[in-house]
Amino acid sequence: MPGDGIGPEVTAAGRRVLQAIAARFNHRFEFEVQKIGGTAIDATGTPLPEATIASCERSSAVLLGAVGGPKWSDPNAPIRPEQGLLQLRALLGVYANLRPVKVIPELAAASPLKAEILAGVDLLIIRELTGGIYFGAKTRTTDSASDLCVYTVPEVERIVRIAADLAGRRQGRLCSVDKANVLETSRLWRDVTNRVMHDEFPEIELETLLVDAAAMHLLSRPADFDVLVTENMFGDILTDEASMLAGSIGMLPSASLGASSRGLFEPIHGSAPDIAGRGIANPCGMISSTAMLLRYSLKLDDEADLVEQAILHAIVAGARTADLVRDGDKTLSTGEMTDEIIKFLK
């Protein structure tokens, strides 16, 4: 689903990489292209048309560009592109959003943080994706508005188990982020997390941080983190903040997973309407998302590893899109950056 803004440009890059992988490993991928977001509203009157829903349900994985833009940005509009994204997550039952952040030393200069702070940063943020304030009941009157934040014990248990399992495959450290000094949902989150970790994952080192402290520590000591787990809204905010560690939000992928192998894969950047259609968007976040698609939905680990190596090889060799360029660097277009990555795949 290309979606809006730069979505079609980066999705085209992701598809090219998947086709290169298919040729290299003798696979055959079948693609269906469907609408979502603003373009879907314009074409059908709804941000998630029935044809898109049917296509998702018969697919092995879903690759998404981005949704939204100035044309559909009125927050009071009854139909908005973002509604399609929330509906899609609920439809697919993808409740765990995985967002890895790994600093490539050659891109340290692109980050606003000092290089010594970035040394050794390799973390994974697990964001709960289908609960919390985004999905709670909403009211609006002339004088007031409300958004209900709700979490249940099973919702917290399942996301914590996924985070702890992933931490066990990495450095064995998990940080749970909440706001338990203020919010009742966060007190439930902390109680359930402590119980699950104590009873089921005693070998994992657990740290608990309030969200405001976590935001500070992500910028002051990011290399100290291994895996972080948090609720929907906190995760939305913290992952965008963490993108600055990598030098550009255009570098970062995400995988949204649930009980089935069919996942939703998308770069974490938005639709970037200011650069849409100019061919300068960074495709690395989308291409990294295709690596996650290969790994988590198609169980093709070697192919996923090769895609990630190809991105690293291109960056180390000096390939840069406009968001990564510093003095003296040559600027590549979206297509040229994709070409450099595909060269390594071949």
- CA-wise closest residue to 236 among 215, 221, 222, 251: 215
CB 240 within 8 A of CB 279: no
Instruction: Report CA dihedral (239, 240, 245, 247) to the nearest 10 degrees.
Output: 140
State yes or no: is 122 an active-site residue.
no
State yes or no: is 179 an active-site residue.
yes
Q: Which residue has the tokens 């990489």?
A: 17
Whole-number Å distance between alpha carbons of 244 and 324: 12
Out of 42, 191, 212, 302, the active site residue is 212
Whole-number Å distance between alpha carbons of 115 and 247: 11
Out of 35, 95, 134, 178, the active site residue is 134
State yes or no: is 240 an active-site residue.
yes
Whole-number Å distance between alpha carbons of 175 and 160: 10
Out of 122, 165, 224, 236, the active site residue is 236
Residue 257 pairs with which residues in a beta bridge? 96
State yes or no: is 236 an active-site residue.
yes
Whole-number Å distance between alpha carbons of 96 and 125: 10
Whole-number Å distance between alpha carbons of 135 and 206: 28
Structure tokens at 203: 């070998």
- CA-wise closest residue to 5 among 61, 73, 51, 92: 73
Out of 179, 226, 296, 323, the active site residue is 179
Active site amino acids? 134, 179, 212, 236, 240
